[in-house]
A and B are shown apart, each in its own frame.
Chain A
Amino acid sequence: MMKKIKWGNLYLWLMFVVLYLPIIFLITYSFNAGKVMQGWSGFSLKHYGELFADTRILEIVVNTFLVALLSSLLSSVIGTAGALYIYNIKHALTKNVFLSLNNILLVSPDVIIGAAFLILFTVMGFSLGFTSVLLSHIAFSIPIVVLMVLPRLQEMNRSLVASAKDLGANNWQMLTRVILPVISPGIFAGFFMAFTYSLDDFAVTFFVTGNGFSTLSVEIYSRARQGVSLEINALSAMMFMVSLALVLIYYVISTRAAKSKKQGTRLVLPASEGL
C-alpha cells in the first residue's frame, strides 16, 4: 500500500516536472550572459536590456495588448447580447439551432477559421492589417463569452425580472439595473477568457495579418524560424509573469464572486418567496 502511493506520487512529480521544465528552462536562460540556450556563461540582465531597447518588439507588445483589450471588450458586449437573445428564445428547437451556430467557431480548427476569414476579408475587399486581426479576434471570442454568460442567466431568478417589470421598469432599466448586475460574473469570466484567447492566438492571426501588422505570436514564430535569440527568452519570462498575474486576478475575483453570489442568493431568496 505504502509503495503504491509512493509510485503514484513519483509519477505526479515527474509529470509536473515535465510540464514545467520547458517554461523554467526558457526563463532561466533569459538570465544567461551567453547568446544561446546552452551552457551557462553567468548571470546577466542584458537580454532584458536588449528587449526594452527593441522598439519593434515593444510596438508589437503594445499592438498585441491593444487587440486583446479591444477584442475582449467588444466581444463581451456582443456575446452578452447573444446570450440574452438565446436565453429569451422560448422555442426549444430554435434555441438549439442558435446554440449550435454559436459553437461552430469554438469547435472549428484554427486553420479553418483563419482560412475562411482570409477568404471573407478578400471577398469583401478588406485590406489585411490591424482591423482584420481585431475583427477576427472579436469573432472567435464571441462564442466563448456567450457560453460563459448563458449559465448565469439560467441561474438567474426569473421572478427578479418579473418583479422589475411589475414595478414599472422599462427594458433598459431592467437590463442595466437587474439583469446585468446578476450576470456580471459571467460577463467578466467571458471577457477574461476572450482576453487570453486573443493573447494566445497564433493560427488565425497568422492568416489574416497581412504584411504590415504583427502580434507577439506571429513575431515569435518568424524569429524562431531564424533561430534562437535570448531576447525572446526575456520576453517569455515577462509574458509568463503577465499570465501568472492574470490567473491570480481571475482566481481572486472569481472566488470573491462565488462568495458574494452565495450572499446574493441569500438576499434574493426571501424576496422571491414573498412573491
Chain B
Amino acid sequence: MMPKSKRQRQFFYIIPYGIWLVLFVIAPLVLLVFQSLTTPTGHFTLHNYAIYFASGTYLRMTFNSVWYAFLITAVTLIVSYPMAYLLNQLKQKQFWLLLIILPTWINLLLKTYAFIGLLSKSGTVNNFIGLWGVVPQQLLFSDWSFLLVAAYIEIPFMILPIFNSLAEINPRLEQASRDLGANRWQTLRRVIVPLSMPGVKAGIQAVFIPSLSLFMITRLIGGNRVITLGTAIEEHFLVTQNWQLGSTIGVVLIVAMVITMILTRDRARRSARKGR
C-alpha cells in the first residue's frame, strides 16, 4: 500500500515537470540539432556544416568570438580578483557584497543604454577628457567600448564565486603561513590563490560562456564591429532567416560551451581535492 501511495505522489509531481522537461528542454535541443542537419525542405544533409567549416568567414568569426570572450574573461578576472580579496577583509562584507550584486538586478538593457549616453561623441566621457584638451574621440562602436561594457556587465558574476571561495578559506591557514615565515606575498601566492581556484574556475565559466553569446551589446555598443557567435545566430534566425545555418552555429556554440564546462569543472574538482 505504501509504495502505491508513493507512486501516486511521484506521478502527480512528474506530470507538470515531465511535460516541461520533454517539451521545453529535450524537444527544443533536438529540434535545433535536427534543423542544422536538414535542408529547408526537410531532407537530411551535412551541407550546413560543410558551409560552416569550408568558409573562412565563419571560422574566423568563431575564432574572433572566442578571442573576445577570452579577453572579456581575462579583464574581468584581473579586475575582480583583487576586489573579491579586498571585500573579504572588510567588516560588513555581506553588506558590501550586496552592493556588488545590486547592479546585476538592474535591467541589462538599461545599463547598456547608460553607456550609450556616457560614450557617445558628445557624451560625458568625451566632455570629461575634453577638459584636458583631448579632442572628442569616437568611443562608441569600437572594440574597446564593447570590451568595456561587456566586462562591466560581467564583473559581479566573476566577483561572487571568487568571494565565496575566499570566504570559505579557514583564516587559520593564513595565520599559519605567516607564522611559518611566509611574507604577505608568499601567503597570497602559495596559500590564498590556490585555495580560491574553484571560485576562479566557476567565475570563468560564468563569464566566458555568456561572453560567447552576447548579441545585444555587439549591436548597441560595438556597432557590429565584433561579431560573436551569438550575433551570428541572431542574424541567421531573425534577419536572413537561414535557420539551418543559424542552428549549425548554435550547435557549435553548444559544443564550445560543453568544452568550457568540462575544462573548468575538471580543474575545479582536482584543485578542490588538492586543497583538502
Task: Evaluate contact between A246 and B105: CB separation under 8 angstroms.
Answer: yes
Given that A8-B89, A109-B253, A225-B220 are known contacts, is A196 also in contact with B17, CB under 8 Å in the complex? no
Distance to closest chain B CB from A29 (angstroms): 7
**Contact for A116 among B5, B32, B108, B110, CB less than 8 A:** B32
Task: Evaluate contact between B216 and A202: CB separation under 8 angstroms.
Answer: yes
Task: Evaluate contact between A139 and B20: CB separation under 8 angstroms.
Answer: yes
> CB-CB < 8 A to A135: which residues of B?
24
Distance to closest chain A CB from B268 (angstroms): 14
Task: Evaluate contact between A111 and B83: CB separation under 8 angstroms.
Answer: no
Interface of chain A residues 197 through 224 with chain B (CB within 8 A) = 199-200, 202-203, 206-207, 216-217, 220-221, 224
Task: Evaluate contact between A115 and B108: CB separation under 8 angstroms.
Answer: no
Q: Which range holds the interface residue count of chain A? A: 35 or more
Task: Evaluate contact between B219 and A8: CB separation under 8 angstroms.
Answer: no
Q: List 3 tightest A-B contacts by C-beta distance, closest first.
A: A37-B117, A116-B28, A109-B213
Task: Evaluate contact between A203 and B13: CB separation under 8 angstroms.
Answer: no
Bound complex: CA of A77 vs CA of B13, how far in Å? 10
Interface of chain B residues 93 through 110 with chain A (CB within 8 A) = 96, 98-100, 102-103, 105-110
Distance to closest chain A CB from B237 (angstroms): 5
Tell whether A55 is near chain B: CB-to-CB under 8 Å: no
**Which of B47-55, B119-127, B174-182 lies on the face that meets chain A?**
B119-127
Which residues of A are at the interface with B, using a C-beta cutoff of 8 A?
A: 8-9, 11-12, 15-16, 18-23, 25-26, 29, 36-38, 77-79, 81-82, 84-85, 88, 101-102, 104-105, 107-120, 123, 135, 138-139, 142, 170-171, 175, 196, 199-200, 202-203, 206-207, 216-217, 220-221, 224-225, 228, 232, 235-236, 239-240, 243-244, 246-247, 251
Task: Evaluate contact between B116 and A228: CB separation under 8 angstroms.
Answer: yes
Task: Evaluate contact between A115 and B114: CB separation under 8 angstroms.
Answer: no
Interface of chain B residues 105 through 147 with chain A (CB within 8 A) = 105-118, 120, 122-124, 127
> CB-CB < 8 A to B106: which residues of A?
23, 236, 239-240, 243
Task: Evaluate contact between B112 and A119: CB separation under 8 angstroms.
Answer: no
If A81-B12, A111-B234 are given as contacts, then 9 extra A-B residue pairs at C-beta distance below 8 Å, sorted by A number, are: A9-B86, A19-B152, A19-B156, A101-B25, A112-B253, A115-B237, A116-B29, A203-B215, A206-B238
